[in-house]
Structure 1
Amino acid sequence: MAVDLQQIGKRFRFYTNLKELEMEQLKTMTGSDETTLSNIICGKNYALDELVAIVKHFEDLNPQWLIYGEGSMFKPMSEDGTCRDGQKGCLKKDKVAYLGQMREMLQELDAAECAKGHHADVDALKAKLDEYKATH
């Protein structure tokens, strides 16, 4: 399966928006420079080694989903319902204000995946957003 840098960028942007991570936070967390992070988010030319070095700083992010669009965005939770970083539900805080934006990004991601002939699990993500909205 070929790696699509633009799709990786869209998925990474979706993840960072969901986690409410700004560029300064990303630079601090990863030790990467703004140019490298911007290139990844924009899907521009970058080395996969740079991506791997950055992704290792996000314990709840599923690299299989990020790179190939397969599986869940988040790694499986532990039995007590927390992620590896100890956060409940893998989300930093209440995301109700972001549901509209996330839905739009999912639609964009879904359209791009379909155009490439990929079959990402976007419907499951939409359902999770709806479930989250209903409970908060």
Structure 2
Amino acid sequence: MAIDLQQIGKRFRFYTNIKELEMPQLLEMTGSDEAVLANIISGKNYLLDELVAILKHFHDLNPQWLIYGEGSMFKPMDENGACKDNHKGCLKKDKAAYLKQMQNMLIELDAAEVAKGHHADVDALKAKLDEYKASHPQD
């Protein structure tokens, strides 16, 4: 399976938007060079080793989804709501202000995946957003 740097960048941007992470926070969390992070986010040339070094700082992010668009964005949760790798809080508290932005990004990701012939599980993400929207009407 070929690796598409632009798709990885779009998925990583989607993830960081959901987690409400800006560049200064990403730099602090990862200890990475700003140029490397900027290249990953923009889908420009970077080494896979650089991506792997950054991924280890995001305990809830499913690398299979990020790299190939397969499976769920987040690693599976246990019965206590923690990631299976024992890190609490896989998702920051959801905020309704981001709902529309996330829906637009899902549409963009879905269109890009379809155009590339990939069949990611975007419908599951859409269903989760719809479920959140239904359960938080006043947010």
Give CA-to-partner distance per residue, 1:79-125, whole Å, 9 cap, x none. 212223211xx221232110100000010001110010000111110
| 1:2-81 superposed matches below 5 A | 2-81=2-81
Detail structure 1 runs of 4+ shifted over 4 Å in the superposition. Answer: none
Q: Which moved more, 1:77-86 or 1:113-122?
A: 77-86
What's the TM-score once normalised by structure 2's chain length?
0.93
Structure 2: 5+ residue stretches without partners: none
Alignment of 1:56-135 (within 5 A): 56-83=56-83, 84-87=86-89, 90-135=90-135
Cα drift, residue 33 of structure 1: 1.3
Q: Which consecutive residues of structure 1, in runs of 5 or more, have no partner in the other structure?
A: none
Deviations 1:22-41 (A, max 9, x none): 00000000000111101000
CA contact (8 A) 1:18 1:95 kept: no
Q: Is the 8 A contact 1:6 1:43 kept in 2?
A: yes
Matched pairs, number: 134
Q: Which amino acid aligns with 2:49?
A: D
Shift of 1:134: 1.6
SS at match of 1:70: coil
Q: Which amino acid aligns with 2:24?
A: E
Aligned-pair identity (%)? 81
Q: TM-score scaled to structure 1, two decimals?
A: 0.95
SS at match of 1:7: helix
